[in-house]
Amino acid sequence: MTSTDRAWTEGFVACEDGRVIGFAATGFSRWNRRQALWHLYVDRVLTEAAGPPAPCSTT
C-alpha cells in the first residue's frame, strides 16, 4: 500500500464546550471515486443519552 492508498487520509474532530465528543476518519478510493468512512467514534455519554436506536421503517 502506497502513501496515497492509505485506508484513511482525513480526520475530523467534533468538540462541544471545549471537549472532544467525536472523531471520524475518511479516505478517498481512487478506483471508484468514493469517499469512505473508516472510523467513527462518539463519546459514550452521548450515545447512552440518546437511548436505543429506533427501528428501521420498511415502508
Structure confidence by residue, pLDDT tens digits, 1-11: 455 556 889 99
**pLDDT tens string 30-44:** 889 999 999 999 998
> Under a CB-based contact definition with an 8 Å cutoff, are residues 42 and 48 in contact?
no
Q: Give the span between the Cα atoms of 5 and 30, in whole angstroms.
A: 8
Select the more confidently predicted residue: 55 or 36. 36
Spatial CB neighbours of 32, under 8 Å, sequence gap ≥ 6: none
15's grid cell: 468538540
Helix (H, G, I), strand (E, B) or coil at 53: coil
